Amino acid sequence: MSGSFSFEIMETARRHDPMSELLGTREALISDAIRNFVVELGLVDPADLIAYIRLERYANLNDIIDSSLEMHFKPGAFKFGYGAECFVDWSADMKISLDMEFCHQDVNAQFRLLLDGNDGSVELDQIVFTDNADDVPTNTNALKMALQESCLNQTAV
């Protein structure tokens, strides 16, 4: 991982219905918000990440992730979900999946951060709005506002 990542929202067959489009929009909001964090995380030697994942040294992994987050977000807004996988093969690029959580204001989201060489993507697993508005655009806007408010640099999102 060279430290320069491009984000792509996962384009799969599930993206053809309105709910999938909504999911893609919310994943894009999270991806945009964490872009600088992922660049910072990309400065870590991938071998270290793989070793910590394989040896289930999640506290060490948490320290690395927290160190990368602290320059960009308010404490506790994003955190490692204590789950990770790595896929390493002789004939393919390595892939790392980190379980992450965003919890700020009235929004709680669990997602996977997928790192693949110089690319990164977000797969949203679950999102809960404690205000629980029935209006989808209102909830999506609540996510956007929570992400913006969680940034130490308010112009980052």
**Dist. CA 106–CA 129, nearest whole Å:** 6
- What is the tens place of the pLDDT at every residue in 111-149? 999 998 777 899 999 999 998 778 889 999 999 999 999
- Going through the chain in order, the beta strands assigned E by DSSP cover 6-7, 78-89, 92-104, 107-116, 119-129
Rounded distance between C-alpha atoms, residue 57 and residue 72, angstroms: 24
Residues 6+ apart with CB under 8 A from 10: 24, 27, 114, 121, 123
d(CA 82, CA 61): 8
Question: Model's pTM, two decimal places?
Answer: 0.84
Q: State pLDDT tens for residues 70-115.
A: 999 999 999 999 999 999 988 878 899 999 999 999 999 999 999 9
